[in-house]
């Protein structure tokens, strides 16, 4: 294999760092996918046929599968030239497969489980094989072997779980399959004889990767706004519902503010300056996964306190109303450590306060519980503002 042929696919210094329009087009599919995940969880909280905890577990597995598809695509386009025809074809394949998985989400543990599982396996394995064949093994045939080895371990579990008639079998099989897939992603697909190597390794385009993480987090906030608008537009526009609507919108603004305050805007600098850029980029994928899950779960909470602001507050609703902000702050704290090798006290204080509020909010209305969560987030954002005014602008100092 010549270096010239290899460089036809690998990004060069001249390759544009911004996401291409085709990549943004792919993101539209995941906007829809998040709405399906959110709608499914809302049904679990309000309908109760599956049960809240079982429904949350099922939704989490479906969400993790979709995130694995998106993450693998982003790492690939941050290493390879997204303008190359082979890479563009893979992105289109991902769009079609992800859309098919998304439409299966509402009944992804029922009648459409085979469709979801077979599409996931076909997409993850099929695009790796296509890329290897169409690219004549470029740029790294060993990476193809690594990825196929790990997906080969999880694929039977996905397919058998999808085809199983007994729903109680599906959950454990898919849980093991997800653990295998994410272990491979986290460790760089360690494979006998050829070892481990994360996609792209040190050649990852930091600016592109950072922008893609930022864009997906904004997609999650946009999905929450969609849920808020849908809930309020279907309400009676009573005063309490209007307050819930405004409170939910304010909370999304706080998510945006807390995320992008300093650390969220320095992802590219952190990856560029890291001594282990591929490891840091992988770890950032997991922190964004946690934050996005928190925002989606918060969106469910918005639906609950906008539609029934002064009604009875079931204890399970606090999983969404308080648990969503908790997940967001956990992920944001981890991101801050990845960028600055430290965690602000305001993040820790916010998490402790939300934990202490849990037994208190059990005796409040859904709207009051949502307001309590918003006040905590407001306190974190205010602490960030005070810190910025008292200290000079920070630069990224990743811990590794």
Q: Is 132 left (phi over 0), alpha (psi -120 to 50) or beta?
A: alpha
Q: Is the pLDDT of residue 225 over 90?
A: yes
Q: Where are the domains of the chain?
A: 3-203, 206-390
pLDDT confidence of residue 268: 93
Kindly provide the b/e burial profile for residues 155-172, where b requires at least 16 CB atoms within 10 angstroms of the residue's own CB: bebbbebbebeeeeebbe
Q: What is the CATH number of domain 206-390?
A: 1.20.1410
Asked whether the predicted pLDDT for residue 371 surpasses 70, the reply is: yes
Confidence of residue 6 (pLDDT cuts 50, 70, 90): very low
Highest mean pLDDT among 6-10, 44-48, 318-322: 318-322
* pLDDT, mean of residues 346-372: 96
Among 7-16, 249-258, 375-384, the range scoring the smallest mean pLDDT is 7-16
As a whole number of angstroms, the distance between CA 162 and CA 164 comes to 6
Using 50, 70 and 90 to split pLDDT, how confident is the model at 137?
Answer: confident
> How much of the chain, in percent, has pLDDT values that exceed 90?
80
Determine the Cα–Cα distance for residues 22 and 32; give it in Å rounded to an integer. 16
Report the C-alpha gap between 100 and 119 in whole angstroms: 7
Q: Residue 285: how many CB atoms within 10 A of its CB?
A: 23
Residue 1: its pLDDT value, please? 39
Mean pLDDT of 208-221: 95
Q: What is the pLDDT of residues 73-85, one digit of tens each?
A: 998 898 888 889 9
Q: What is the mean pLDDT of the chain?
A: 92
What is the residue-wise DSSP string for 39-61? Answer: HHHHHHHHT-SS-HHHHHHHHHH
Contact of 364 with 308, CB cutoff 8 Å: no
Largest CA distance in the chain: 69
Residue 168 pLDDT class (50, 70, 90 cuts): confident
When pLDDT is averaged across residues 182-209 and rounded to a whole number, the result is 87
Helix 113-134 to helix 167-187 angle (10° resolution) is: 30
Q: What is the pLDDT of residue 52?
A: 92
pLDDT at residue number 3:
43
Query: What per-residue confidence (pLDDT) applies to 143?
Result: 86
In order of 181, 242, 243, the CA distances from 365 in angstroms are 40, 15, 13
- For the residues 11-32, what does the mean pLDDT come to? 86
């Amino acid at each position: 294999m010549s270096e010239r042929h290899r460089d036809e696919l690998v990004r060069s210094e001249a390759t544009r760092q911004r996401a291409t329009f085709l990549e943004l087009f792919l993101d539209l599919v995941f906007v829809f996918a998040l709405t399906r995940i959110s709608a499914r969880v809302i049904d679990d909280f309000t309908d109760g046929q599956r049960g809240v905890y079982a429904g949350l577990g099922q939704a989490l597995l479906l969400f993790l599968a979709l995130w694995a598809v998106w993450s693998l695509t982003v790492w690939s386009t941050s290493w390879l030239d997204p303008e190359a025809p082979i890479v563009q074809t893979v992105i289109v394949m991902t769009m079609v497969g992800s859309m098919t998985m998304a439409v299966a989400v509402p009944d992804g543990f029922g009648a459409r489980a085979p469709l979801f599982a077979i599409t996931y396996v076909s997409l993850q394995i099929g695009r790796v094989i296509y890329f290897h064949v169409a690219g004549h093994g470029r740029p790294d045939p060993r990476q193809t072997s690594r990825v196929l080895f790990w997906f080969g371990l999880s694929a039977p579990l996905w397919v058998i779980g999808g085809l199983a008639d007994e729903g109680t079998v599906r959950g454990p099989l898919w849980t093991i399959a997800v653990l295998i897939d994410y272990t491979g992603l986290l460790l760089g697909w360690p494979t006998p004889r050829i070892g481990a190597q994360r996609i792209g390794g040190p050649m990852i385009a930091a600016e592109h990767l950072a922008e893609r993480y930022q864009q997906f987090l904004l997609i999650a906030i946009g999905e929450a706004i969609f849920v808020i608008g849908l809930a309020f537009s279907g309400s009676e526009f009573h005063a309490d519902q209007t307050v819930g609507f405004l409170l939910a919108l304010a909370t999304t603004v706080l998510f945006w503010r807390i995320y992008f305050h300093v650390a969220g805007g320095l992802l590219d600098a952190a990856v560029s300056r890291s001594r282990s850029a591929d490891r840091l980029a992988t770890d950032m994928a997991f922190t964004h996964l946690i934050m996005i899950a928190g925002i989606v779960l918060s969106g469910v909470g918005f639906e609950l306190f906008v539609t029934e602001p002064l009604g009875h507050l079931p204890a399970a609703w606090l999983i969404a109303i308080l648990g969503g902000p908790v997940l967001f702050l956990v992920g944001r704290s981890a991101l801050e450590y990845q960028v600055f090798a430290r965690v602000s006290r305001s993040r820790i204080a916010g998490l402790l306060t939300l934990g202490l509020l849990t037994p208190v909010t059990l005796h409040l209305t859904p709207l009051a519980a949502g307001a309590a969560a918003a006040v905590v987030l407001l306190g974190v954002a205010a602490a960030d503002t005070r810190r910025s005014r008292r200290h000079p602008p920070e630069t990224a100092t990743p811990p590794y």
